[in-house]
Amino acid sequence: MNVRENISMPAIFFVSLFLTALFLPPAQPLFSDPSPIFPGEEWEAREPQAVGLNREKLDALRDFVGGRGCVIRHGCLAYSWGDQSVSRDVASAFKPVLSTLLCFAIQEGKITGPDECVARFEPRLKEINHGKDAAMTWRHLASQTACYGWAEDPGAAWAYNDYALALYYDTLMNKVFQMHADRALRHYLADPLQFQDASTFEAFGPKDRPGRLALSVRDFARFGYFILHKGRWRDKQLLQEKYVDMMLNSIVPPETPGVGGKEADMIPNQRSIGGSKNITPIGPGFYSFNWWLNGVDRHGNRLYIDAPPDAFVASGHGGLRAVWIIPSLDLIVSWNDAKIDDHDASPGNPDSKHNQALILMKKAVLK
């Protein structure tokens, strides 16, 4: 009897099944659609049930969140509350928009890559702090690890720093694009994505914290849908997919320490985009090119316990202003002037308002 005769037929079957599965291409993402629906001048509206959503659960989400908002599923406006046309400041939720514009600058060759030194465009960084800030890169600014105004070298520590963000915004707009920020916004995003409402980087006027983005919830949802589709809009790849992947896969390592507290010089008359130089210790393990990912920190705490792991968000004012993107559910939720304000209390906390809102989002999905 040879070796082949010693192998049973069930064993052959399971070995064959294993080898077949091993070499199959990876499964496609849930709800993938080779011909997704994109909005034109307006979102296509459908009833929640038509896109697999439960209206009663969406009512509960609306009541819990407050303010105004909208829900996009399978490319359609399935639910909304409040005045959809109102454009207001989105606070720190603007930061992923800024990093998206950075990616356009890289794509066009205006910047060689995220690891190019910012001092090429802002040479004053070479003159302060014995030159330590000359090593600051665009990646550092987008990751809140620039250590601008702190003693640590760029990349050595975490500080959620609105002075660094003002440096990021001003240098990108004035020195790289060399155009008014609203013109860049229109050229790269508002016009191609057909924003329906007013949008400006001067939410409070040209002299009050320029860089603060005013946007309607339905237009912020368009931006979210653009990111969900990895830089594609209808039949055009506006931003190469690799740059969207970079933004969503460059998480600040969980073990990154916070700054030690010893301050350093900044460029004379350095302004802030709105807040302080060290707003929150929350970030390492969760933060990637100004997006908040549902990652895990050094203590093993997931940012939003009951959200799908692939969920990510542009968040401002602790969550009062946000656009949520959940690829596995093909779901986008955008809101402003909400009651959700406990972002910093979210890691590992099932009772946070953020986590409760995400539970309601999941429960609203029927299929």
Q: Would you state the CATH architecture of domain 44-201+208-364? A: 3-Layer(aba) Sandwich (3.40)
The C-alpha angle with vertex 104 and arms to 101 and 106, in degrees rounded to 5, equals: 115
Question: What's the pLDDT score for residue 34?
Answer: 55
- Give domain limits for the chain: 44-201+208-364
Q: What is the block-wise mean pLDDT of the chain (367 residues), using blocks of 10 residues?
A: 37 35 35 75 97 98 98 98 98 98 98 98 98 98 98 98 98 98 98 98 95 98 98 97 98 98 98 97 98 98 97 98 98 98 97 98 95
Q: For residue 9, what pLDDT is reported? A: 34
Say if CB 351 and CB 366 are below 8 A apart: no
Q: List the structure tokens of 231.
A: 């830089």
Q: What is the largest CA-CA distance in the chain?
A: 90
337 and 224 Cβ atoms separated by less than 8 Å: no
Q: What is the pTM of this model?
A: 0.90
* 214-215 vs 287-288, strand pairing mode: unpaired
Long-range contacts of 336-341 (CB under 8 A, 24+ apart): 336/67, 336/68, 336/69, 336/86, 336/88, 336/90, 336/217, 336/220, 337/66, 337/67, 337/68, 337/82, 337/88, 338/65, 338/66, 338/67, 338/69, 339/64, 339/65, 339/66, 339/67, 340/65, 341/317
pLDDT of residue 367: 85
Strand duo 76-81 + 44-45: pairing: parallel
